[in-house]
Structure 1
Amino acid sequence: MDASHSRSRARRLLPHLTAGVCAAVLVSGCSDPASGSPEAEPSKPASASGTAGDLQNDYQTVIKNVLPSVVQIDATGSLGSGVVYDSKGHIVTNAHVVGNEKAFKVTVATGEKVQRASLVSTYPDQDLAVIKLDSVPDGLKPAKFGDSEKVEVGQIVLAMGSPLGLSSSVTQGIVSAVGRTVSESRAGGGTGATIANMVQTSAAINPGNSGGALVNLDSEVIGIPTLAAVDPELGDSAAPGIGFAIPVSMVRTVADQIIKSGRVTDSGRAALNITGRTVVDENYQPAGVALVSVPKGGAAEKAGLRVGDIVTGIDGTPVTTITSLSEALASDKPGQKVTVTYLRDGAEKTAEVELGEI
């Protein structure tokens, strides 16, 4: 069995997002810091010096500061990465890394003694999970977490983790975009989560990087690398330079709740509070989401929606599948009002819905 199948269940991006391949590559190609001229120096962040030697020193400093906080997580049949969250031994990672496992072997990326860890809780809706070391070793170093509001396109970043089981691996790139909404596949153990406000990066993210650290030049974790785009024209192989990381703001929100309560008590994620299924038109193309159940007291029921209605749009954004419905709601908040377009007995109608919570 080759390494890519015997190790981490790194997630793949749905094909409709692969159209950005050329743009991402161009941004990456234009951001090579080593080729910068002295005239460009004022536009660089204070921590990024104008010479290749100084930039190399910056990289090495970041790696020295952060890599001891990045761990390799060994679950049955898969390997992934994680980040030490606090001095009590909590480690944050992806839900798809832990899968259905309850116990893990954890190795600090610098190659120290293998530790045992147990699952605290997993939150597949955001593809995040927290595990905890059974015994906290001396010198355990929590990572420093940054501020999502300060993440900007063009910032130099490093991705740290264990791609294909190669611990202590580091790749570099830039922040290519922010605010991306991305849906994971359910294939191969994926969660199928739709995640808003993701950080897009040109730093290479490969199987095993999932759950690791995306780090800025101030040695701050700004995201958790989670998936890479695939290009269907290349046989679903990885699209170069297009990876995605869960923003640190969401990482903190989920991890803090899990550590405090053992579960996520306030998702902050909007919902129609329905169970639905994708329906197709006469050409067998996805055409909307039919409501299979509409729980009493939920957002949809309060707005007058009922079983059999077919949702086709949210605030003017077309809805053709369950995934596109999730994407349309991904950036909304519970309590926000949206206009839902739907079909009832073949007639198009609209309803104002005050969104509930997942």
Structure 2
Amino acid sequence: MSASPHRRTPRRRPLPVTAALCAAVLVAGCSQAPSPQPSAPSTAAARALAPTAANELEDDYRAVIGNVLPSVVQIEAGESLGSGVVYDDKGHIVTNAHVVGDAESFRVTLATGEAPVTARLVFSYPEQDLAVIRLESVPDGLKAAKFGDSSTVAVGQIVLAMGSPLGLSSSVTQGIVSAVGRTVSESDQDGGTGATIGNMVQTSAAINPGNSGGALVNLDSEVIGIPTLAATDPSLGQGAAPGIGFAIPVSMVRTVADQIIRTGRVTDSGRAALGITGRTFLDAGYNPAGVVVVEVMEGGAAEKAGLRARDIIRKLGNAEITTITSLAEALASRRPGDEVTVTYERGGSERTARITLGEI
């Protein structure tokens, strides 16, 4: 299944039943009376408890929304619109690179409903589809979101997605974490960056155009991801596939945002690279069958391992490589410094090379 970034929206504006094990006690000269059987809670009692559980969950939702929604903003970038999350009390806001696009100046509307505030771009990092902007003036009471820990995110967790879908500011949808560790490639059309992003969180919470850059939140009021992509279904004419969305994990959000705020750019991407430029190789039947090396970067991982231009990469570790996208996805699951065997073809002969991956 493919995935594409949200188009930036124009401004057009059981009950437990206790089981008892009963032991018979025989007393000389006495007859044994039948032991009373434990009774299950009555249907009426069960019905009485059900609304209580529902009310408690509803209270949890309300608490999370009250805690986090004030930290989720709406971002206008020219004719486009998206969402963002207040990162700190200095006015830094983290969002998607495809939300900011090529713009340098933005109108930011807080969930409190005050007049829009102007913000400026600090740095955009399309390779991970993340960006940081900063408010030119920091409103009183600006509330930074609490960011969680990616290692605690688990399938089945209840999550809420907050943002401005279709321009409807301060909207909230509910779902669960459907999967973790997904590698997804964005489209490079309709405003997408074309990035291949690893370790993404898949969620059933509805994500629509305008949600991009917002917050995916757990019931501890922690941001665990930035909603970024919705899967597309070819049978729907590339329309969104309901209940399948993806969010950039909070670990990567924090890594990138901290570097941008500290140095003004990303100095350590944490993304593995071969150190080549390449293109998809088509076999005699015009089927994708590998990646042909167009150029080897001087001093890069591939050059050090002896790869050359016109070599055709067929496998990275155990991952079959058929297209440039499949190569990017295989690399997205690796880290700089990892050692991996690359299988490639040169002059009609299959070869292998042990490569220590570099960094983008």
Same fold (TM > 0.5): yes
Change (3 A) 1:226 1:5: closer
1:183-239 alpha-carbon deviations (Å, 9 max, x no partner): 111111111111111111000000000000000011100000001111111211111
Q: Which amino acid aligns with 2:192?
A: G
Structure 1 or 2: more helix by fraction: 1
Which residue of the partner structure matches residue 259 of structure 2?
A: 257
The equivalent position to 1:322 in structure 2, one of 319, 324, 336, is 324
Q: Secondary structure at the match of 1:172?
A: strand
Map 1:157-306; keep pairs closer than 5 Å: 157-306=159-308
Map 1:60-75; keep pairs closer than 5 Å: 60-75=62-77
Q: Which amino acid aligns with 1:182?
A: V
- Alpha-carbon distance in structure 2 between the residues aligned to 1:52 and 1:157: 16
Which residue of the partner structure matches residue 91 of structure 2?
A: 89
Quote how far apart the aligned CAs of 1:314 are: 0.3
Name structure 2 gaps, 5 residues minimum.
1-5, 18-50
Which residue of the partner structure matches residue 27 of structure 1?
A: none
- Alpha-carbon distance in structure 1 between the residues aligned to 2:142 and 2:94: 14
**Does structure 2 conserve the Cα–Cα contact (< 8 Å) formed by 1:72 and 1:167?**
yes
Quote how far apart the aligned CAs of 1:179 are: 0.7
Q: Which amino acid aligns with 2:286?
A: Y
Change (3 A) 1:202 1:5: closer
Q: Secondary structure at the match of 2:284?
A: coil
Change (3 A) 1:8 1:109: farther
Quote how far apart the aligned CAs of 1:160 are: 0.1
- Alpha-carbon distance in structure 2 between the residues aligned to 1:111 and 1:72: 10
**Does structure 2 conserve the Cα–Cα contact (< 8 Å) formed by 1:8 and 1:80?**
no
Quote how far apart the aligned CAs of 1:287 are: 1.2
- Alpha-carbon distance in structure 2 between the residues aligned to 1:302 and 1:204: 46
Q: What TM-score do you get using the length of structure 1 for normalisation?
A: 0.87
- Alpha-carbon distance in structure 1 between the residues aligned to 2:273 and 2:308: 15
Which residue of the partner structure matches residue 125 of structure 1?
A: 127
Change (3 A) 1:128 1:8: farther
Which residue of the partner structure matches residue 29 of structure 1?
A: none
- Alpha-carbon distance in structure 2 between the residues aligned to 1:275 and 1:180: 24
Change (3 A) 1:247 1:353: same
Quote how far apart the aligned CAs of 1:38 are: 2.9
Quote how far apart the aligned CAs of 1:312 are: 1.0
- Alpha-carbon distance in structure 2 between the residues aligned to 1:273 and 1:109: 44
The equivalent position to 1:38 in structure 2, one of 1, 8, 15, is 15
Quote how far apart the aligned CAs of 1:81 are: 0.2
- Alpha-carbon distance in structure 2 between the residues aligned to 1:199 and 1:207: 18
1:63-97 alpha-carbon deviations (Å, 9 max, x no partner): 11100000000001210000000000000000000
1:219-272 alpha-carbon deviations (Å, 9 max, x no partner): 100000001111111211111110000000000000000000000000111000
Aligned length: 320
Which residue of the partner structure matches residue 357 of structure 1?
A: 359
Change (3 A) 1:269 1:65: same
**Does structure 2 conserve the Cα–Cα contact (< 8 Å) formed by 1:164 and 1:206?**
yes
**Does structure 2 conserve the Cα–Cα contact (< 8 Å) formed by 1:197 and 1:331?**
yes
Residue range with higher mean Cα deviation, 314-323 or 66-75: 314-323
Quote how far apart the aligned CAs of 1:109 are: 2.5
**Does structure 1 conserve the Cα–Cα contact (< 8 Å) formed by 2:339 and 2:355?**
yes
**Does structure 2 conserve the Cα–Cα contact (< 8 Å) formed by 1:124 and 1:193?**
yes
1:153 aligns with 2:170: no
Which residue of the partner structure matches residue 333 of structure 2?
A: 331
**Does structure 2 conserve the Cα–Cα contact (< 8 Å) formed by 1:277 and 1:291?**
yes
Which residue of the partner structure matches residue 20 of structure 1?
A: none
Quote how far apart the aligned CAs of 1:110 are: 3.4
Q: Secondary structure at the match of 2:344?
A: strand
1:98-157 alpha-carbon deviations (Å, 9 max, x no partner): 011100000012322200000000111110000000011101000000111111111100
C-alpha root-mean-square deviation of aligned residues, in Å? 1.6
- Alpha-carbon distance in structure 2 between the residues aligned to 1:225 and 1:8: 19
1:7 aligns with 2:3: no
The equivalent position to 1:98 in structure 2, one of 100, 118, 132, is 100
Which residue of the partner structure matches residue 19 of structure 1?
A: none
Specify the structure having the higher radius of gyration (Cα): 2
**Does structure 1 conserve the Cα–Cα contact (< 8 Å) formed by 2:7 and 2:190?**
no
Q: Which amino acid aligns with 1:243?
A: G
Q: Which amino acid aligns with 1:234?
A: L
Q: Percent of counterpart pairs with the same letter?
A: 73
Q: Secondary structure at the match of 1:143?
A: coil
Q: Secondary structure at the match of 2:313?
A: strand
**Does structure 1 conserve the Cα–Cα contact (< 8 Å) formed by 2:124 and 2:131?**
yes
